[in-house]
Amino acid sequence: MQIPEKRSFDQRLNTWVQTIGIIVAASWGVYTFVYKEIVVPKGAPINVSIAMTMKRVSDEKTDLKDLKKKYAAIELTFVAENPSTRMVFLLPSAWIVYGVKIANLPDRSSFRTDAEIALKSDARFAELHAVPRDSTVVVIGRLFPDDVLKPGEKVVRTAIFHIPVGTYDLLDAHAMVPSARKGKAVDIKWKLSDDNQLMPTTYRIAKDGSSTEVKMNEQYPDQDPAVELQNTRAMTQLSVR
């Protein structure tokens, strides 16, 4: 029987080099997969983008002598999308539309003061020839029933409501979509304030299901799973004259 020759040092070294190379490549592959698919998504900030479009779709056919029975149908479309790499948990969302009347002001000596105020405020602007005279809530409600948005997922809702023709000059629509990085950790309840604004009340949800109201001046501690609580807003307007 022939005894196999012992492998040379170069052959053994080559085998070890190949083995180490395979182990390193496999380890790098596992690390890259875990890093890209688990570590990076967990560390990425949550993000929800929303958009609204509003248009007048039709007028109800009624007796033109009685304007109280003639209504315009308004179509409002909401789109919420999760462009991030993480799952986003949606909290109760809400929307509101105001019917606004415009007053003509031939004397606009206060325009400069109004402009300075508008530039210091969010989503405000000042007009030279007209100003909003008053506004009325014409529709209000909850927005999306969904409670989770997967990465890249979007939800769409279309609502049709009605306003009396000739009553308002424009419609002013607002939508609020709060979200958090962890589900069932926070809840929000909405109410209409005395000055007709949508006001949220935030609650921490404990593991036993009990809830505690979060005061306006409270801060979420770093260990709170709801520290990434966000509220994405969208606004749009439509002339109905």
- For the whole model, what pTM was predicted? 0.72
pLDDT greater than 70 at residue 69: no
Burial 39-64 (b: 16+ CB within 10 A, else e): eeeeeeebbbebebebeeeeeeeeee
Supply the pLDDT for residue 155. Answer: 92
> Which amino acid is located at 61 in the chain?
K
Domain residue spans of the chain: 11-43, 46-177+232-239
Residue 99 has a CB neighbour count (10 Å cut-off) of 19
Rg (CA), the chain: 29
Give me the mean pLDDT over the 93-118 stretch.
86
Say how many C-beta atoms besides its own lie within 10 A of residue 74's C-beta: 22
Pairwise pLDDT comparison (240 vs 64), residue with the higher score: 240
- What pLDDT shows up at residue 122? 73
The fold of the 46-177+232-239 domain, in CATH, is: Immunoglobulin-like (2.60.40)
Q: Residue 27: its pLDDT value, please?
A: 60
Residue 196 pLDDT exceeds 90: yes
On the question of pLDDT at 232 being above 70, the answer is yes
CA distances (Å), 104 to each of 28, 113, 169, 189, in order?
A: 69, 17, 12, 38
pLDDT tens per residue, range 18-52: 676 676 666 655 555 444 554 445 555 567 889 99
- Residue 237 identity: Q
Write out the two tokens for 238.
């439509």
pLDDT in the model for residue 35: 44
Average of per-residue pLDDT values in the chain: 79
* Residue 185: pLDDT over 60: yes
Burial profile 137-159: b = 16 or more Cβ within 10 angstroms, e = fewer:
ebbbeebbeeeebeeeeebebeb
pLDDT category at 229 given cuts 50, 70, 90 is confident
Residue 161: how many CA atoms within 13 Å on its side-chain side?
17
The pLDDT of residue 10 is 64
Amino acid 40: pLDDT: 45
